[in-house]
Chains A and B, each alone.
Chain A
Amino acid sequence: MTRILVVDNHGQFTHLERRALRDLGVETELVDNDTPPEAIDADGLVLSGGPDIAQIGNCPAYLELDVPVLGICLGMQLMAAELGGAVGSGEYGGYADVDVRILDPEDPLVGSLAPETRVWASHGDEVREVPPGFTRTATSSVCDIEAISDVDRDLYGVQWHPEVAHTERGEEVFENFRAICEK
């Protein structure tokens, strides 16, 4: 069975990421972000959101494990910060409902949601600069960079929360990520 672990960066929705994967029928578990990278045994990793980029534990090392990674909210931001992009505070902040426009309908993670999808978000900071090797795959009126993908390294990030009930078609993002992990 496909095994996708959820790395807990102390976000309040982290457990819903575990629930979304559990409900899809994949093997899943919550793991602390100070778990040594060599102890991680998974076909894919979800890096959760959280309150503070100073509390991301070993997440940077998990990006080198050569398994597909989906970063959610802070999980996406830390990916950008680690891999040569930039993160800063947003002008507007994104809370509750946001209409996200999909820029790349071919993207394996969010392409199937094109042209537009209604999501729920909760963030003050955002990715300000896409890291080398990544492309911006979604945008909105409150946040320029809503999603990023590096298809070659199988690293993906979304700024919104696909795991919460109010995000429309949130399960689809997890299904797409499962397909990425199984390919």
Chain B
Amino acid sequence: MVDPEPFIEEAIEEIEAEVGDANAVIALSGGVDSSVSATLAYRAIGDQLTPVYVDTGLMRKGETEEIRETFSFMDSLRIVDAQDRFLDALSGVTDPEEKRHVIGEEFIRVLEREARETGADYLVQGTIYPDRIESEGGIKSHHNVGGLPEVVDFEGIVEPVRDLYKDEVRELARELELESVISERMPFPGPGLAVRVVGEVTREKVEVAREACHVVEEELESYEPWQAFAAVVGKGTGVKGDNRVHGWIVAVRSVDSRDGMTAQAQELDWETLQRIQSRITSQLDNVSRVVYDVTHKPPATIEYE
């Protein structure tokens, strides 16, 4: 387990030494990894750091507003509305790895533009150890590692928590006294809701995933899952008020884990499952059925793509 105090000291020194008098940007997703990295970088280089939050249109319900509030203490925070840009670029793309690459590419281009405007030569990222391993191993490309385009217009990339695991990053977050909404936040994938929509990403499917994820997170709070969400996995027939509905099939997933490397599907009671089903199918006209995913990791992964 990492010893938070000396680690934080060393990380700050390392960032200072690497970035020096230059400016840097960091992409803030609101997750614990990028929040901790941003806080370390902010302590190291202060206003030379510009945190950028990109609203890709693939974020959770209310996420953008939450970020705006939580990080209001950083004057230099920039919120970029890039919804159309991402959703347009994803149009027609169905291969999961291709989706991740498209998002990685768009992401870095947005960041490069922000960097030019703020005169930043360095990119700070919240990459953690398993991100690198899964990308190198060809299991999934994490958009802040394997999804990065070959040519990146930065002088250097700084990854202060690259050797740590998620549970260790949470330790740092507590030591850094970040709000518990950040330090205990559920992991959310870099490509956002795009990987919670199997196949092509459309505005309609993303909206279904977003609303369904919100219901699941609310209903399962008392189970304290490591991660809980919903994904749009296909289409099926249903009947609503005497009308046939060829609607979306929503899969609900809720898992326990320490580090995301292995995961156990949670045992939920029937009543809870039924409440989730009922809320999702009544709130969303275009959903025909809700299923619960009982697969552990392995053999499944936590996210669907």
Contacts and interface: CB of A to CB of B under 8 A. Distances in A.
Contact of B298 (A19, A23, A122, A165): A122
A122 B258 contact: no
Contacts, number: 45
Contacts of A120: 262, 296, 298
Contacts of A23: 1
B165 A166 contact: no
A10 interface: yes
Contacts of B297: 96
A165 B139 contact: no
Interface residues of B, number: 19
A15 B296 contact: no
A10 B137 contact: yes
Main secondary structure of the interface of A (DSSP, over half): mixed
Nearest to B295: A96
B133 interface: yes
Given A12-B134, A19-B165, A164 B299 contact: no
Contacts of B1: 23
Interface in A58-96: 95-96
Contacts of B261: 12-13, 16, 164-165
B130 A15 contact: yes
Nearest to A10: B137
Interface in A1-34: 10, 12-16, 19, 23
Nearest to B1: A23
A16 B259 contact: yes
Interface residues of A, number: 17
Nearest to B259: A165
B136 to A, nearest CB: 9
Interface string B241-266: 00000000000000001110111100
B129 interface: yes
B133 A97 contact: no
A164 B256 CA distance: 13
A12 B299 contact: no
B261 to A, nearest CB: 6
Given A15-B130, A95-B296, A96-B298, A165 B258 contact: yes
Contacts of A96: 262, 264, 296-299
Interface in B129-168: 129-130, 133-134, 137, 139, 165
11 contacts: A10-B137, A12-B134, A13-B261, A15-B129, A19-B165, A95-B298, A95-B299, A97-B264, A122-B298, A164-B261, A166-B258
Given A96-B298, A161-B262, 11 more contacts: A13-B262, A96-B297, A97-B296, A120-B262, A122-B299, A164-B262, A165-B258, A165-B259, A165-B261, A166-B258, A166-B264
